[in-house]
Amino acid sequence: MSKTPVLDAREIPMATRLQTIVARLEGLQPGEMLELVAPHEPSKLLSKLLAEFPLRFDFSPLERGPVAWRYHVTARLDPVPRSVTNYLAWDHDRLDAMLEHAFEHAQRGEWPGALALAQDFKHGLFRHIEIEEQILFPAFEEATGIRDMGPTVVMRHEHVDIKEAVEGIVRGAKDKNLDEMERQRANLLGVLIEHNMKEEQILYPSTDQRLDAKALEGLVVKLMLN
Ligand SMILES: [Fe+2]
Ligand SMILES: [Fe+2]
């Protein structure tokens, strides 16, 4: 996997920063991704992107302070209306690629890079789980009336196992132990592949189908901004 290009806002003069970043993002081809680094929460930029180009970009945080704020920003493949399936399946793919990238570094013995990428992966996946549990699952439960015996209960249980295996991968990278990383990755994928498939094929689409366009747009924007 090729490395995602980085745009460090801290290197751009304040007076032209916002315009320069927007111009660079506008130049992204569909499917292209950029890592944006900022010295503070880039809420002004993200709001501007959503207001001026409502369907053009997706974003997900990589790191949120206290020194740097880093976001992945991607130009969406098609400017179709937002859906939970579209946004969170993109986030699954983004996270899969980050994990693969961490292992590529570890296999080459590049441990500082492997650890940094494993930590980014952990931050990204834990945040993904957080927005599912705090925002999406309650919306699904509200929209379908399915609570106690439903899929969100199963998903929450699986999230516990997923987090444990991710912690193991980071520990393996810290200890420069590729065998341990591989063992923990096998544990992770033993749950995650099917978990993501169930979400993408059942849970996300059933939420999408039950909300009207305005409610759905509001829900996905809330997921993106959290
Ligand atoms: Fe999940
Ligand atoms: Fe998910």
Q: How many residues does the chain have?
A: 226
Question: Ligand 2 center to residue 61 CA distance, Å?
Answer: 15
| Cis upstream peptide for 61 (omega within 30°) | no
Q: What is the mean pLDDT of residues 18-41?
A: 95
Q: H or E segment at 204?
A: helix 204-210
pLDDT in tens, 103-134: 999 999 999 999 999 999 999 999 999 999 99
Residue 147: pLDDT band (50, 70, 90) is confident
For residue 162, give the ligand nearest its CA: 1
pLDDT given for residue 97 in this prediction: 96
Q: What is the mean pLDDT of residues 16-33?
A: 95
pLDDT at 25 over 90: yes
Structure-block tokens of residue 214? 């305005």
Question: Ligand 1 center to residue 203 CA distance, Å?
Answer: 10
Question: Ligand 2 center to residue 95 CA distance, Å?
Answer: 10
Question: Ligand 1 center to residue 68 CA distance, Å?
Answer: 27
pLDDT given for residue 149 in this prediction: 83
pLDDT given for residue 52 in this prediction: 94
59 forms bridges with which residues in the sheet?
73
What residue spans define the domains of the chain? Answer: 6-75, 84-225
Which option is the CATH number for 84-225: 2.60.40.420, 1.20.120.290, 3.10.580.10, 1.20.1250.20?
1.20.120.290
Amino acid identity of residue 203, one-letter, is L
For residue 156, give the ligand nearest its CA: 1
CATH fold of 6-75 reads Translation Initiation Factor IF3 (3.30.110)
pLDDT given for residue 146 in this prediction: 87
Question: Ligand 1 center to residue 126 CA distance, Å?
Answer: 10
pLDDT given for residue 51 in this prediction: 93
Q: Are 158 and 132 in contact (CB under 8 A)?
A: no
pLDDT given for residue 2 in this prediction: 59
